[in-house]
Amino acid sequence: MNPLLKVKEAFQNGILPEKEYSLIVKRFPIVISGISRIEKASGVNFPIAYVEPSVTMSSSNVNSFEYGILFARTIPVVANDNLHVVIQISAPLVAYGLKGTIHAILAHEFLHYLELMRKISDMELISDELSANLFENVYADNQRLFEPRAVFSDKTLLSHITKKFPSGFRDYKLEDKVIKYWIEKNLPTTNITLDTNTAKLSPDLVSKIRLAPKLTSKIKSFELKASKLRKKRLY
């Protein structure tokens, strides 16, 4: 699929102004370079990715004043009993994010993808737990990830991930830009509650999914390396 198709449609339909559309198109090569970098550093192909022409706001419930900005999401899509994993990248991240930030967020979502594939490979039922608030959700998010050092060989990329995700992603300068140049200008915004940002797959579907042997082998090697890193840290 064309990763900028929805952005182009939003511009053609008058939903997205020309200034923002041009900026997204101009800066999209940063996303392409990030995907190539992640594939080279991990030896695994990046899943399907596309730019969503809106910013996604997440809150604990519809009446909550506590909210967070989701700059990217890993979404399992089921069609005709087949699973497709899609990385949804928010347009404001492409428009306003620094190169290191964009690459770190892409890498973070890639780790979500690998964890999802690991659970399927191990025949685990996928149904992420819900959490009561955004703080708890950040903690739960980190528990669902592979150890980055077990996956990536790129030291600079690892540094970006460590700095951006010490305990959940926060980039105050980026958030301020998104609020000032996107949200306050009433550009496209999607509001969701935390209970909609979870992955749920039926046991029957999981049992039918067959992963490529090469991907399964790489995931096993990541697990082994992560186990060694944990033991090294303990002793």
Residue from 186, 170, 196, 165 nearest 58 by CA:
196
User: Residue 78: its pLDDT value, please?
Assistant: 73
Contact call for residues 170 and 68 (beta carbons, < 8 A)? no
Averaged confidence pLDDT in the chain: 82
What φ, ψ does residue 133 adopt, rounded to 5°?
-150, 175
Write the pLDDT tens digit of every residue in 40-52.
999 999 999 999 9
Q: Are strands 72-79 and 82-90 parallel, antiparallel or unpaired?
A: antiparallel
- Which of the 8 DSSP states describes residue 186? T
Asked if pLDDT for residue 105 goes beyond 50, the answer is yes
pTM for this one? 0.84
Write the pLDDT tens digit of every residue in 3-48.
999 999 999 999 999 999 999 999 999 999 999 999 999 999 999 9
Write the pLDDT tens digit of every residue in 90-102.
999 999 999 999 9
Domain locations in the chain as residue ranges: 5-196
Here the tokens at position 137 are 């959700």
